[in-house]
Amino acid sequence: MIRDYIRKELQAFKPYHAAFRPQKIKLDANESPFALSENVKNKLIQWISNEENIKLYPDTDSTELREAIASFWNVDVENVICGVGSDQLIDCIMKVFLEPGDRVVMPTPSFSMYGSTAILNHGVPIEVKLNENYTYPIDEIIKTCNLQNSKLLILCSPNNPTGNRLPNEQIEEIAQNVKCPILIDEAYGEFSDETMIPLIGKYSHIVVFRTFSKAYGLAGLRVGYGIGAKEIIDAIYLTKPPYNLSVLSQKIATWVLQDEKVNQERIEYLKTERENLIQELRKLPNIRVFDSDANFILIETQDLELSEKLEAREIFVRSFAASEGALLLRITVGNKEQNKILLDALKVLI
């Protein structure tokens, strides 16, 4: 039986599946509501019409894209690595630092891929519960990391799904007291007022991961990047598969990053929509609405069927079990039209 040969830890493992269906009001995966800008679309059409452009393997080091990222952040190209989404880089960093049985420390609730990727890489996820109001228990995080066999700490800021960021000052306090490598996942960093990227020169054991899937609207292309001191970037390179990013992904991500004015406008639009949506949601009875530094908003409700009721109206959000008798819904901030449809539905349902 094939089953008998499957690694023990994976026998109860559930690989990630999500129904793929085009949805009008899709607010469940924190994607951007914006399509490619005209500028990028025109470059793409011109580029793709040269059939020579896709017959060769891509640049395995994504040099042009890394140069664009380095110039954007004012760092050297050797401080940058690109992956097939930041998902791939999360996998790579675990492959670098974990021997079988090593611990990966992660405050929870957070992005579920940290735990599953740790298990796939023979590691052991160690969850440190966030405080009641989702702030971070700094001392406990430090204590847990300094236990033997803790080989990686992952801090998601702004955190998915709670939406709050971990202030730089607290990250620095952790970094100064923890020896193991620290991954700061800033997948939602463009929507926040703080980033650790300018501080990478100060801490050689910190790496920051970002993605083109959220603020830049390229979730379908799968492009993520890491920024850190040369030492930690070189380490992640040890496990990066060759030719990981397609030539198309490298090209489009480069053009999109250089489209700075459009990006800024779109980010500001979504931040304004986020604040409007929070204000409107707070007028509704029976729900708790959390602050957000990301492009999504977390709400807590006692109506355990609220997610299904929204789905019946073709509005898709992400739901999580909360404490007994409560449900957490993570709602992506969409465009004005989508947000209005969501609010109108909630007004009727709550």
Nearer to ligand PMP among residue 224 and residue 346 (C-beta) = 224
Return the residue of 85, 181, 226, 334 that touches ligand PMP, per CB under 6 A. Answer: 85
Tally the C-alpha atoms within 13 A of residue 101's C-alpha that lie toward its C-beta. Answer: 2
User: Does residue 86 belong to the site contacting ligand PMP (CB under 6 A)?
Assistant: yes
Least Å from the CB of residue 283 to ligand PMP: 28
Q: Print burial letters for 151-170: b (CB count within 10 Å at least 16), e (below 16).
A: bbbbbbbbbbbbbbbbebeb
User: How many positions of this chain bind ligand PMP (CB under 6 A)?
Assistant: 12
Which tokens is 313 given? 């109206």
Give the nearest distance from C-beta 295 to ligand PMP in angstroms: 10
| Among 32-40, 79-87, 258-266, 319-327, the segment contacting ligand PMP (CB under 6 A) | 79-87
Show the site string, 212-231: x = touches ligand PMP by CB under 6 A, - = not. -x-----x----x-------
* Beta carbon of residue 337, minimum distance to ligand PMP (angstroms, whole number): 23
Q: Could you give the CA distance from residue 227 to residue 222 in angstroms, rounded to a whole number?
A: 17
CA 106 – CA 115 distance, rounded (Å): 8
Does 115 engage in binding with ligand PMP (CB under 6 A)? no
Options 111, 136, 191, 216; binder of ligand PMP; rule CB under 6 A: 111
The residue number with the shortest CB distance to ligand PMP is 85
Q: Sheet harboring 315-321: ordered strands across?
A: 25-27, 315-321, 327-332, 296-301, 287-289
Token readout for 191 is: 């929507």
- Interacting span for ligand PMP (CB under 6 A) from 82-90, 279-287, 300-308, 313-321: 82-90
Sheet strands (E) in the chain: 25-27, 80-83, 103-108, 124-129, 150-156, 182-185, 206-211, 224-228, 287-289, 296-301, 315-321, 327-332
Binding positions for ligand PMP, rule: CB under 6 A = 85-87, 111, 156, 160, 185, 187, 211, 213, 219, 224
